[in-house]
Amino acid sequence: MTSPLPSSPPASVLDLAPVVPVVVVTDAADAVPLVRALVAGGLPAIEVTLRTPAASAAIRAIAAEVPDAVVGAGTVLTPAQVTESVAAGARFLVSPGWTDVLLEAMQASGVPFLPGVSTTSEVVTLLERGVREMKFFPAQAAGGTAYLKSLAGPLPQARFCPTGGIGPGVAPEYLALPNVGCVGGSWMLPADAIAARDWARVESLAREAAALRPRG
């Protein structure tokens, strides 16, 4: 698949790579070298969570300095965060859950978004509103691959990015499901590697993650 132009939003976040790294940035100065390592390892879609004061500055720096990255904002909870994230350069949005107000803001943002779901009713409600791509969270706690496999029969039009408790051991099981486009996780960003600014190790772990999708 051809990578989207840096200035354009991706057609689908789910199709950019098998794994979307979920990045918590505490020091904005680390954002650019960290994301360069992830992209070099084959993971261009990056979710920067809005859990720290450095998140917006990190998104802005990545958008400006790493053109091969498709940077998004995660843990989006309010319309104000939607506006702030898109202004900073976020090219997609991810929320752990959704409300009517948040969904309307994400739909009006002009960028792709993945609202979080964990129940069948939430999935059906979003499908009624024209939303077919969603985050399944917290994936392992909410039923894991067995739950998503059960949804594929009655709701084949829904596609998911499962996130929450997923590591390299179970990621291939999710990626083998027909209704899973990618998974989200942070195992390629171990705390000791980030603290040591060992970007070579991050790149190596990213390369392993990029190769997790089953072939065939």
Query: Mind telling me the catalytic residues?
Result: 47, 135
- How far apart CA 111 and CA 123 sit, in angstroms, is 20
Answer whether 76's CB lies under 8 Å from 56's CB.
no
Task: Tell me how many degrees the CA angle 1-113-171 measures, rounded to the nearest 5.
Answer: 60
The DSSP 8-state label assigned to residue 180 in this structure reads B
DSSP strand pairing (159-162 vs 133-136): parallel
- Burial (CB < 10 A; 0-12, 13-18, 19+), residue 119, is exposed
Neighbour tally for 192: CB within 10 Å: 8
CA pair distance 34, 199, nearest whole angstrom: 6
DSSP 215: P
How far, in Å, are 26, 88, 128 from residue 6 at the CA level?
25, 14, 31
